[in-house]
Amino acid sequence: MPPGYEKLPAELIRTVDAPPGDGGVLTEFKISWDAPAPPLAENMFWQSYNETLNVDYQPQIAPAGNYDERLATLLAGGDLPDIVQLLDTAQSARAIRDGAFADLSPLLAGDAIDEWPNLANIREDQWRYVAYDGKIVGFPIDLPAYNNEFRYRQDWAEENGYPDPPADAEEFKELFASFSKMGVDGRYGLADAPGTAMIAANAMFHVPIGWRYENGSLTYHQETEEFAAAVQFMTELWEEGAFHPDALSLDANVGQTLSMIPAGTVGISWIATANWFNPGVYYDALQESPDSWAPFVPPHHEGDGAGLFGRSTGVFARVGISSQAAEDEERLKMLLDYCNYLRAPFGSEEHYFLHHGAEGDYFTRSGGGEPTPVEGTSFQPEAAQLTYGLAPVVYDFAGAQDAITINEQYVNNSEMDPCAGLFSDAATRAQPQLDELFESYVNQIIVGNRPLTDLEVYLEQWRSRGGDDMRTEFEEALKARENGE
Amino acid sequence: MYAFILPGLIFFVLFHYVPLLGNVIAFQDYSPYLGVTGSRWVGLQNFTSIIRDPEILNAITNTLIISFLQLAFAFPAPIALAIFLNSLLSERLKRWIQTIVYLPHFLSWVIVIALWQQVLGGAGSLANGLSLLGIENVNLMSDPSFFKVLVVLQVVWKDVGWGTIIFFAAISTISAELYESAAVDGAGSWRRIWHVTLPGLLPVTVMLLILQLGSVLTVGFEQLLLQQPAVGAGAAQVIDTFVYFRGIAGGDWGVSTAVGLIKGVVGTVMVLGANRLAKRLGTDGLF
């Protein structure tokens, strides 16, 4: 669970002695889900960022949907930015393998890392997942062990005679089907399929996370009886009319599906916990009608306990330093100083600056109290794109205690994919096609265009079209990990 | 005078001929970071892995079916519309209709499909209307068996108006005297279309048909990619989406390029063949 803080400490600590930059240009390729930040000339935060860190910061920002194409273009262009955010995609795995990013191990091994105390604070388990082939090729972007939470429309449920959250799979089905039948135009219990409902179904039927590893051999979660039961449950949800009729299209249109949550046209949500506590559309929706979205943890289908949830590795992505930039050791050290600044912990002056801007620009803070916003300014839209990355994830909002209590229930009932952090060439290459295969079979089974028995046909295809290769490669990697490391 | 050719020439050399060199990637295990010079040569391996992929047959079949349907229905549609519009007497009405039918061309596929979803989707107006009549659960947008017809209908709706422009231009070159003398000889309006307008449109039609045959393996990428989740790859996998999932999304650039190369060769053969056939049938052909 991420650490939570309802308040800032009265006295902020200082973790960095001098501005990290050398006044020159610093480029970074990064991913973003936010609207584009205003240009430098109109962006107070960007200006103070350059000044405080002593850099001429020139980010190249890829919207999440275009990330892969943009990265490929950058790689092919031959002139990589100094710092690159590397998601777990085929493209970046390949670039790392080809040596596009500097091996930082020699500089950071042993006590050497103490020169960068904030980087030294990176957790042991996170180092394990950012390493590639035993080399440190970057720093982690944090991801909580379980980042999201389920909520449902409690107000509708009460109206329909369900005062409590669903206690088993049957109740889950009844509840969400009842939302679709309330006679309100455009209102449905569930929106996208497989989507959110499949995640809940997998949890309720205790489908293994990723793979099941027993006696040295792997079974893919979709090959298990549990998964077959979850799919069957999905077909029942569909038959009961719980879904939006265009559920399959909605699954491919994340933006539209998400917009149904604040719009009040869907009864379930599965989004990052922090969304309900930090200002934004979901927060606003909840403020407007506090009885609406209540958290619930999908139960085990028989009603005896909670579902089973997938725990993350704690790493969302890597932040690598380009081999080209690392050739000059002075520059490499400067870039490490820079990363060290960004990684500053909650309660430090650096972290405060990255989340509130310079004193008086967007927030003012006096006497160790809470920061008060400066009227007429808006911090998030100007800063969010620029600061996303290495900063440690913390729940630093009012209600952090509640958020953690909810989060604990997920983490305590979670397992991690035994193959997490392992590389399989077959997996990176074949995954897009296998996802497509899943769509063609499982999606169509769910909406009744194919019989449930086609699940076997799907699995046969899955095995022959890369699944078995993946299994072999992962089994070898697991054995190597057991014997080696 | 020849200087006027320059901008166009530079454009074609820079953006059409120079990129042809990139086709060498088809014979490599290409890595964007290592570049053409650093990547490993793999001979024909990319081509064999395409042929061995079980999905390719489905992709080719779907592509050819959709291509044939487009040739049969979407290609002649603008001719019919142009002739119809040409027969309208009221200039005002004609301009109105033109404006309306041109418009969809300027919408991106994302918007077109969203609009169709609103009308034909499971929560769309058609489904709502039919449910009033007691017919439930109509969702034409996620019916795999209806999908190919849907694709062609969408293409017709989006581009029929735009397609009329070139036929209008052709119609306007047909001499009015031909119509007059045909009328004097007692030809009614149908006979005038059959014996004057259509022969007048023939050269343009043949030219466009030959060009269309050149792109017979390209049936629209976005349109299909966007709708594939709803109907599955069985119905919606075409060569271009296959390339996307097999090559681009998996970072397998060599395979993508190999497919592109094959498509280019097939397209060239089709254009040359169709051109020769057109000449043999007595028209001028394209070149």
Q: What domain range is B102 assigned to?
A: 42-280
Residue A316: strand, helix, or coil: strand
Single out the residue of A286, A382, A389 nearest to residue A34, CA to CA.
A382
pLDDT at A305: 93
CATH number at residue B239: 1.10.3720.10
Single out the residue of B102, B221, B212 nearest to residue B157, CA to CA.
B102
Tell me the per-residue pLDDT of A209-218, one tens digit each, with 9 for 90 and over: 999 999 889 9
In-domain check, residue B30 = no
Tell me the per-residue pLDDT of A330-373, one tens digit each, with 9 for 90 and over: 999 999 999 999 999 999 999 999 999 999 999 999 888 888 88
Return all residues near A222 (Cβ < 8 A) that are at least 6 apart. Answer: A438, A442, A459, A462
Residues of chain A contacting residue B130, judged by C-beta atoms under 8 Å apart: none
pLDDT at A149: 95
| Cross-chain Cβ contact A439/B122 below 8 Å | no
Radius of gyration over alpha carbons of chain A, in Å?
24
Amino acid present at A171: E
| Cross-chain Cβ contact A248/B33 below 8 Å | no
In-domain check, residue B16 = no
Which of A14-23, A150-159, B12-21, B116-125 ranks highest by mean pLDDT?
A150-159
Interface residue of B30, B33, B143, B243 to substitute, partner A, most A CBs within 10 Å: B33
Average pLDDT, chain A: 92
Residues of chain B contacting residue A99, judged by C-beta atoms under 8 Å apart: 33
| Cross-chain Cβ contact A249/B35 below 8 Å | no
Higher pLDDT, A483 or A138: A138
Q: Which two tokens stand for residue A480?
A: 């190597």
In-domain check, residue B259 = yes
Contact A246, A347 (CB under 8 A): no
pLDDT at A342: 96
In-domain check, residue B15 = no
> In the sheet where A268-272 sits, what is the strand order?
A268-272, A148-153, A293-295
- The pTM of this model reads 0.84
* Weakly modelled stretches of chain B, pLDDT under 70: none
Q: Alpha helices, DSSP H only, in A32-132?
A: 44-53, 67-77, 90-97, 105-108, 117-120, 124-130
CA dihedral A438, A441, A442, A446 (to 10 degrees): 150
Q: Which two tokens stand for residue B96?
A: 């109105």
Residue A142 above 90 pLDDT? yes
Residues in chain B: 287
Q: Which two tokens stand for residue B71?
A: 């040739």
Q: Is beta strand A309-311 parallel, antiparallel or unpaired with respect to A315-321?
A: unpaired
In-domain check, residue B35 = no
A194: preceding bond cis by omega (within 30 degrees) = yes
Q: Which residue has the tokens 């049938």?
A: B281
| Cross-chain Cβ contact A440/B137 below 8 Å | no
Q: Please indicate if any CB of chain B lies within 8 Å of the CB of A465.
A: yes
Give the count of domains, chain B.
Answer: 1
> What's the CA gap between A180 and A224, in Å, rounded?
31
Task: Please spell the DSSP secondary structure of B227-243, one letter per residue.
Answer: HHHHH-HHHH--HHHHH
CB-neighbour burial class of residue A324 (10 A; exposed 0-12, middle 13-18, buried 19+): middle
> What's the CA gap between B228 and B217, in Å, rounded?
18
User: What are the structural domains of chain A?
Assistant: 25-143+316-390 (3.40.190.10), 148-210+217-311 (3.40.190.10), 422-483 (no CATH)
Radius of gyration over alpha carbons of chain B, in Å?
23
Interface residue of A251, A436, A438 to substitute, partner B, most B CBs within 10 Å: A436
The interface predicted TM-score of the complex, written ipTM, equals 0.77
Q: Please indicate if any CB of chain A lies within 8 Å of the CB of B228.
A: yes
In-domain check, residue B211 = yes
Tell me the per-residue pLDDT of A413-440, one tens digit each, with 9 for 90 and over: 999 999 988 888 888 888 888 999 999 9
Q: How many residue pairs bridge chain A and chain B with CB atoms within 8 Å of each other?
A: 105
pLDDT at A485: 54
In-domain check, residue B2 = no
Higher pLDDT, A295 or A368: A295
Contact A179, A189 (CB under 8 A): yes
In-domain check, residue B17 = no
Tell me the per-residue pLDDT of B182-208, one tens digit each, with 9 for 90 and over: 989 888 888 888 888 998 898 888 888
pLDDT at B207: 86
